[in-house]
Chain A
Amino acid sequence: MRELRAALWGVSAFSLGYLLPGTLRLPTLAYDPVARTVRFTAQVTGVAMRYYGDLLWACAAGLCAAAAVWTFRRPPGPVAALAGTALALVALDLAFYLSRFLASV
């Protein structure tokens, strides 16, 4: 089922694309709500926020991966392996953010 494979690749790429820019401090779009400016930078300080940029990275990664699987018809692999990978990546993100929360309180 092509839709399911595209969805699983999309979820996997979204999970990686959401986790990596923040943890590796990769450059992203940062919005300063006081100055009302948008910059492309890795150094986000003060009231500026990188959430929009990180979400954009993740959405772009997820959409590109899903579109690539949708467009290029490769021989289908086992769904269980794809599903396991996608859910494991989501679980990795959850574990990371939960551990960061628990360490901070």
Chain B
Amino acid sequence: MSVLFEGAARPLLVAHAVLGFTAVFATTHHAVSALLAALGRPAHGQLRRFGWMASASTVAQALLGLALYPAYRVRVRFADLESSAPAAVQLFDLKEHLSALALALVLGASFAGRALQPDALAAESRTVAALSGAGAALVWAAALIGLFVTAWHPVGRP
């Protein structure tokens, strides 16, 4: 019995981790830039630049995570964690939900941040900052939970 992408699970996991770190730092920079813009500081070039990086890295990371999910479910979750660490299973489920919500927030904040003008209303700047900050917080939480569960039993290890 073979599972989709099981043979490439390790390199996919490494790429998923690298993109995860990229997403964490890009979304954090975007959130800081959005906060500066909301405070009236000139940060619109950064908002456009980090908006592309944040959205591209988050989408790429999500796609790799989706590719790894079948191997995780069969080889890690059902073969090991369900019996040895059921709390880790629930924690990973929570991480999947956080990642999904982060995806929507990061894409929304990046899209709106690109169009934010230097003379935008304060309410608009603050809204972009709120979307971006919430997205970055969820990306951080998902990354930390992902590292924790991977330390327990990485996908690709028997």
Q: Which residues of A contact B (CB under 8 A)?
A: 1-4, 6-8, 10-11, 14-15, 18, 31, 33-34, 36, 47, 49, 51-52, 55, 58, 62, 78-80, 82-83, 86-87, 90, 93-94, 97-98, 101, 104-105
Contacts and interface: CB of A to CB of B under 8 A. Distances in A.
Main SS of the interface on chain B? Answer: helix
Interface string B120-136: 11011001101100100
A3 B114 contact: yes
Size category, B interface: 35 or more
A1 B97 contact: no
A90 B134 contact: yes
B124 A79 contact: yes
B41 to A, nearest CB: 19
Interface of B: 1, 3-4, 66, 69-71, 73-74, 78, 86-87, 90-91, 93-94, 96-98, 100-101, 104-105, 107-109, 111-112, 114-117, 120-121, 123-124, 127-128, 130-131, 134
Nearest to B88: A105
Contacts of B117: 1
B87 A105 contact: yes
B22 to A, nearest CB: 21
Contacts of B101: 14-15, 18, 90, 93-94
Nearest to B93: A101
Contacts of B3: 33-34
Contacts of B108: 7-8, 10-11, 86
Given A49-B73, A105-B87, A55 B100 contact: yes
Main SS of the interface on chain A? Answer: helix
Contacts of B100: 18, 55, 58
B121 A79 contact: yes
A62 B4 contact: no
Contacts of B96: 51
A83 B127 contact: yes
A49 B69 contact: yes
Nearest to A79: B123
Contacts of B69: 49, 51-52
A4 B128 CA distance: 8
Contact of B94 (A1, A10, A101): A101
A1 B116 contact: yes
Nearest to B66: A52
B78 A97 contact: no
Nearest to B94: A101
A65 to B, nearest CB: 11
